[in-house]
């Protein structure tokens, strides 16, 4: 199925901003759903069809329709259709906590003067992965702060290290990344693992 972006105020163009906050707020403020419309949107989502911003606003503004339980049930059904009745867990491996941002909720934030800043060495990464494999882990999420030291090249380097660690019958089969947003080129580099 080919993705056809919804036509919005700002055209969807590669590597250009496309979110118009005023358009989103206008939809949220001006959408007054009724029970029939909410149920139509739930049904569309259960057919695995992409919802428009307006349809999403219908669900967001469904307060007072008495359909919160139906929306939650629809979400559960959709999750089960897509993923089945399973939960997949990832063990976190904190590679580095240097960060240039100041997100209030995050311990990595630059204003957190009590944090001891640390980036694991290659040997430390190997030891951590071996310990995780000994513990039966097969899936990891590598976590990095948002900092110039954690470039796509560096992240790709650490991913290669992780996939290269094999201890006994253990090996990591899946690596996810929690890092700063990447350029298209950076994403492609990671996809090809350097």
Instruction: Write out pLDDT tens, residues 101-121.
Output: 999 999 999 999 999 999 999
Which one, of 153, 163, 139, lies nearest residue 190 by Cα? Answer: 153
Q: Determine whether domain 91-191 maps to CATH 3.30.750.
A: yes
Q: How many CB atoms within 10 Å of residue 150?
A: 22
Helices (H), 49-151: 53-60, 68-83, 122-134
Which one, of 21, 24, 51, lies nearest residue 38 by Cα? Answer: 51
Structure tokens at 96: 């580095």
What phi and psi values does residue 110 have, to the nearest 5 degrees? -60, -30
Helices (H), the chain: 21-30, 35-46, 53-60, 68-83, 122-134, 152-164, 184-191
Which one, of 146, 129, 42, lies nearest residue 91 by Cα? Answer: 129
Q: How confident is the model at residue 1 (pLDDT cuts 50, 70, 90)?
A: very low
- SS3 of the chain: helix, strand, coil, percent, to 5: 40, 10, 45
Structure tokens at 141: 């999420």
Could you tell me where in the chain the CATH 3.30.750 domains are found?
A: 91-191
* pLDDT recorded at residue 184: 86
Q: How far apart are CA 183 and CA 8, in angstroms?
A: 23
User: Does pLDDT of 191 surpass 70?
Assistant: yes
The pTM of the full predicted model, rounded to 2 decimals, is 0.68
Q: What is the pLDDT of residues 151-174, one digit of tens each?
A: 999 999 999 999 999 988 889 999
Q: How confident is the model at residue 141 (pLDDT cuts 50, 70, 90)?
A: very high
Q: What is the pLDDT of residues 37-89, one digit of tens each?
A: 999 999 999 999 989 999 999 999 998 888 999 999 999 999 999 988 888 88
CA atoms within 13 A on the CB side of 102: 4
């Amino acid at each position: 199925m080919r993705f056809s972006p919804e036509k919005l105020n700002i055209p969807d163009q590669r590597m250009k901003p496309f979110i118009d906050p005023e358009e989103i707020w206008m939809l949220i403020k001006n959408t007054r759903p009724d029970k029939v419309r909410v149920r139509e949107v739930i049904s569309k989502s259960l057919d695995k069809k992409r919802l428009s911003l307006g349809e999403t606003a219908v669900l967001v503004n469904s307060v007072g329709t008495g359909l919160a339980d139906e929306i939650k049930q629809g979400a559960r059904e959709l999750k089960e259709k897509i993923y089945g009745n399973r939960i997949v867990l990832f063990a976190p491996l904190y590679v580095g906590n240097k960060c240039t941002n100041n997100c209030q909720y995050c311990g990595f934030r630059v204003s957190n003067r009590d944090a001891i800043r640390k980036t694991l060495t290659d040997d430390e990464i190997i030891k951590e992965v071996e310990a995780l494999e000994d513990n039966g882990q097969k899936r990891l999420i590598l976590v990095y702060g948002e900092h110039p030291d954690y470039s796509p090249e560096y992240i790709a380097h650490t991913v290669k290290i992780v996939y290269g660690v094999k201890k006994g019958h253990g090996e990591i089969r899946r690596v996810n990344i929690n890092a700063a947003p990447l350029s298209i080129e950076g994403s492609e580099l990671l996809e090809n693992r350097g």
